[in-house]
Amino acid sequence: MPKILKIKKLPLGKDFLALTLGEFILTKEPLSPYAVNHELIHVAQQRELLYIPFFVWYGIEWLVLCIKYRDRTKAYYNIRFEKEAYRHQKDLSYLKHRRHYHYQ
């Protein structure tokens, strides 16, 4: 189980509630069960892509989408990893039946 660490400030800015880095979930405040589930979906994504490739893919996709949409927030919500996490965050049993490499 990943460790949840409470910190004062996230490196990405004030609009973000949590950040998952490998086996650590960094957060500014206590997380709801749905927010924890969202971050655990990211943990599963990172594990199956062996961590570093996940971050490279995530970053490149975000940059391409920033160019496409000319909007950083819209780009963020359209990253395939975020789409999967947001779509399934309220399904607390999702990780039990999640298909590997099925980002969307």
Q: How far apart (Å, rounded) are the C-alpha atoms in residues 39 and 45?
A: 10
pLDDT at 102: 87
The string of DSSP letters for 41-93 reads: HHHHHHHHTTSHHHHHHHHHHHHHHHHHHS-HHHHHHTSHHHHHHHHHTT-TT
Stated pTM of the model: 0.94
Both structure tokens of 5 = 């660490």
Residue 89 identity: Q
Reading the block at residue 44, the tokens are 């599963």
Give average pLDDT by consecutive 10-residue segment, the chain, 104 residues. Answer: 92 84 96 98 98 98 98 96 98 97 86
pLDDT of res. 12: 75
